């Protein structure tokens, strides 16, 4: 029997995060967004709730939950604001998860307790100024010299990389040449404050204005050889695995944004009057909202299915790509329709749909563009170069 109902623990978590988002995030996030200010108090609140430790074992200070629990939390946060949601997503799936998945026991014990509590944040340094979707074109290098890695290069668009809570950045770097002549890519842990690590001023962004994003540069950054994360030469495989998981989390944020657009439009349609009637009485508005709800519902099923396969230990790359593609499309389409329903008010930043519209576009770009998702899906079907 197929049952899509959430279990009691999942539902309790979802409701708890929903209450937090509506009572704590919604009243203040507009101000943070306008000031382009990182919401330290909201992050502290999420930390106190255990959200940063949701998918990690209790032995490391986690909540003993799973990745789907994280996705439920992300969806509920994104129904109100995506900046807060992506701070949690990047802190967990891109920041702490690589340490948990690939780190030594010593690295896990050293870093994870603070990351799980939300007292510290970690960043994932993958994208480079000249790389974009071509992550294999990594130019950042790391060479061993007298028991230390010496890292040189730069990374761009790195979330959670410049906050007062940021403790480390995992950086992909070329560490040699493979037997086939290709680049040997490994992952190195760079603690914040490492000499030679420069955090550029925060970007001026179209959306996600209350999240933290910077360009990073490395000039002869020396860290111990023990800061290698995982096996040498496996960095490329590690970040592909990290991105597969992260796409499910980003899909959950997309669903949350899409559903948040529905929430706002249902409320507005019952309040706003035009030509002597509430606009919800007009079939054109009814149909538009019905389409929006359909998109959000369909996208939710897609990320539920991907998460289900992941938790069962089955291959889920295709399903993660589908979920990410469908949910980002739903978010963008719903944000556009919500702005249209709100009319002039939808163009004002004081209304949530204005922020939703600005936040939606990055979901079609971050953690793999929509074009990359289509390529992955096609290859999984045996179509195109590299198909299996």
> Catalytic positions, please?
367
Residues contacting 127, CB < 8 A, separation 6+: 135, 155, 156, 157, 158
* C-beta separation of 353 from 346 below 8 A: yes
Rounded to the nearest 10 degrees, how much is the dihedral formed by the CA atoms of 41, 42, 44, 46?
170
Residue 170: helix, strand or coil by DSSP? strand
CA 18 – CA 15 distance, rounded (Å): 5
The neighbouring-strand residues paired with 134 are none
Q: How many helices (H) and strands (E) does the chain have?
A: 12, 10
| Dist CA 117 CA 47 (whole Å) | 5
Residue 97: its H or E element: helix 97-102
Cα within 13 Å of Cα(293), Cβ side = 10
115: CB partners within 8 A, 6+ apart: 52, 53, 91, 95, 96, 99, 121, 122, 167
For 129, half-sphere exposure in the C-beta direction (CA atoms, 13 angstrom radius) is 8
Q: What is the pairing mode between strands 121-125 and 166-177?
A: parallel
How far is CA 214 from each of CA 83, 302, 311, rounded to the nearest angstrom? 15, 31, 32
The DSSP annotation for 300-342 comes to HHHHHHHHHHHHTT---HHHHHHHHHHHHHHHHHHHHHHHHHH
What is the sign of the dihedral through the CA atoms of 226, 120, 214 and 320? Answer: positive
């Amino acid at each position: 029997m197929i049952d899509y109902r959430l279990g009691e623990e999942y539902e309790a978590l979802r409701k708890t995060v929903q209450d937090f988002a509506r009572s704590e995030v919604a009243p203040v996030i507009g101000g943070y967004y306008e000031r382009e200010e990182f919401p330290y108090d909201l992050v502290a609140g999420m930390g106190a709730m255990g959200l940063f430790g949701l998918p990690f074992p209790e032995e490391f200070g986690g909540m003993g939950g799973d990745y789907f629990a994280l996705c439920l939390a992300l969806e509920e946060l994104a129904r109100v604001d995506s900046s807060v949601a992506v701070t949690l997503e990047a802190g967990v799936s891109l920041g702490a998860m690589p340490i948990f998945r690939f780190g030594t026991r010593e690295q896990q014990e050293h870093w994870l307790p603070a990351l799980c509590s939300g007292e510290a944040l970690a960043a994932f340094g993958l994208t480079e100024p000249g790389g974009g979707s071509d992550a294999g074109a990594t130019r950042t290098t790391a060479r061993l010299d007298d028991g230390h890695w010496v890292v040189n290069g730069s990374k761009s668009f790195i979330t959670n990389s410049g906050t007062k809570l940021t403790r480390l950045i995992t950086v992909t770097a070329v560490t040699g040449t493979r037997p086939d002549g290709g680049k040997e890519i490994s992952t190195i842990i760079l603690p914040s404050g490492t000499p030679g690590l420069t955090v550029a001023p925060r970007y001026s962004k179209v959306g996600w204005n209350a999240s933290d994003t910077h360009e990073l540069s490395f000039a002869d950054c020396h860290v111990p050889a023990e800061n290698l994360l995982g096996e040498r030469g496996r960095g490329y495989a590690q970040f592909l695995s990290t991105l597969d998981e992260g796409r499910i989390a980003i899909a959950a944020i997309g669903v949350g944004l899409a559903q948040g657009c529905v929430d706002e439009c249902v409320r507005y349609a019952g309040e706003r009057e035009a030509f002597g009637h509430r606009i919800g009485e007009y079939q054109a508005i009814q149909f538009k909202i019905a389409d929006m709800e359909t998109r959000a519902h369909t996208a939710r099923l897609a990320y539920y299915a991907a998460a289900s396969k992941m938790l069962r230990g089955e291959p889920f790359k295709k399903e993660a790509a589908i979920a990410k593609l469908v949910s980002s499309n739903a978010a963008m389409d719903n944000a556009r329709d919500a702005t249209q329903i709100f009319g002039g008010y939808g163009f004002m930043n004081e209304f949530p749909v204005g922020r939703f519209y600005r936040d939606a576009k990055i979901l079609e770009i971050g953690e793999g563009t929509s074009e990359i998702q289509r390529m992955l899906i096609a290859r999984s079907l045996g179509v195109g170069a590299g198909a299996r």
